[in-house]
Structure 1
Amino acid sequence: MEPCPECGASMDPRSCDELFHALLALDHSRQAPWGPLHGVSVSCFLLQHPSRLPADDGAMAWALLHTYLEGGLDEVNQLVGQARRDNSHRVKGGPLRVVRDAPLPHRDASRSRFSVTIQDVAVDGTFPSSAFTERVKAWAAATVDAWSCGT
């Protein structure tokens, strides 16, 4: 089977999309360790599959990964809270501000292949809870490293 054209991971036995949907189901259970890392996991997946990046070209995902790697989950929660407040219909003044100062590489910047992908985080396809947090942190670091090499 051909590797994923975006992240380079093997798509055997399950594709990146199939694994992402399995991870989202775990995330939405809101149970640890998956639920608290939902934003980090989604950010990693989007930045490793840039055809799926939202209209902000991944600025929020990029800021979230930098925040996670530099300050941990508490700072991520603060960033997400700020983003929710800024995105409220009660706030007038335009598009969402990204509070974190982490310059986003150009979307088309050449990237090295990712040393950690969703396949690695999934382990056997089930995203086991044992060492999940460590695997996600390695995924976040590999994502930032690969994008940073392209700048």
Structure 2
Amino acid sequence: MGPCAECGASMDPRSCEDLFHVLLALDHGRQEPWGPLHGVSVSCFLLQHPSRLPADHGGMAWATLRAYLEGGLDEVGRLVGRARRGNSHRVKGGPARVIDDAAPPHRDAPPPRFSVTIEDVAVDGTFPAAKFAERVEAWTTATVDAWNRGT
């Protein structure tokens, strides 16, 4: 199997999708360190695999990564809170207004390669707890940097 066509990971011995399912299982256990980083991890994965990114979720994924780099999980929590409040049927404009222009930078095509991928975060395919948060931060930085490059 060759490298992932979207993020450039080697996919040896597991595909990005296989690794993503392992990560989701850990995330949904809501245990440290995986659970609290669920939104950040999903945003990284989707922005590195844009064929899987729903058209109306790009702004929230991008806003999540920017919030994480700017203020950590506290800032992500504030963003999610604003989006939830903005999603109320009583608020005109909805979540899009809350996120403002948080869409990823316009590019003719998504970045073809990233310096840190889900494969790097997975280490041996098990997403070890030791230094998981540091690997997710590196993944986030690599994702944002690649999308910003050339804009």
- Superposed pair shares fold, TM > 0.5: yes
> Compared with structure 1, are the counterparts of its residues 52 and 91 closer, same or farther at alpha carbon in structure 2 (3 Å cutoff)?
farther
Determine the C-alpha separation between the residues in 2 that align with 1:102 and 1:141: 16
Tell me if 1:96 matches 2:85.
no
> After TM superposition, which residue ranges in structure 1, 4 or more long, deviate above 6 angstroms?
none
Partner residue, 2:20: 20
Deviation at residue 111 of structure 1 after TM alignment = 2.1
Counterparts of 1:119-134 in structure 2, within 5 Å, are 119-134=119-134
Partner residue, 1:7: 7
Q: Unaligned regions of 5+ residues in structure 1, if any?
A: none
Partner residue, 1:31: 31
From the two aligned structures, give the one with the greater helix fraction. 2
CA deviations on 1:37-93 (whole Å, 9 max, x unpaired) are 0000000000000111122251111111011001111010110111122223x3342
Determine the C-alpha separation between the residues in 1 that align with 2:10 and 2:126: 16
Contact 1:85–1:91 (Cα < 8 Å) also in 2: no
Letter in 2 for 1:93: K
Contact 1:27–1:35 (Cα < 8 Å) also in 2: yes
Q: Unaligned regions of 5+ residues in structure 2, if any?
A: none
Per the alignment, in what secondary structure is the counterpart of residue 85 of structure 2? helix
Contact 1:63–1:100 (Cα < 8 Å) also in 2: no
Deviation at residue 96 of structure 1 after TM alignment = 1.9
Q: 92-101 or 124-133, which moves further after superposition?
A: 92-101
Q: CA RMSD in A?
A: 1.7
Determine the C-alpha separation between the residues in 1 that align with 2:128 and 2:40: 17
CA deviations on 1:75-130 (whole Å, 9 max, x unpaired) are 10110111122223x33424422436545212544525200000000000000000
Percent same amino acid among aligned pairs?
A: 73
Contact 1:41–1:136 (Cα < 8 Å) also in 2: yes
Letter in 1 for 2:84: R
Contact 1:4–1:11 (Cα < 8 Å) also in 2: yes
Tell me if 1:136 matches 2:119.
no
Per the alignment, in what secondary structure is the counterpart of residue 46 of structure 2? helix
CA deviations on 1:9-54 (whole Å, 9 max, x unpaired) are 0111110000001100000000110000000000000000011112
Letter in 2 for 1:96: P
Q: TM-score, normalised by structure 2?
A: 0.91
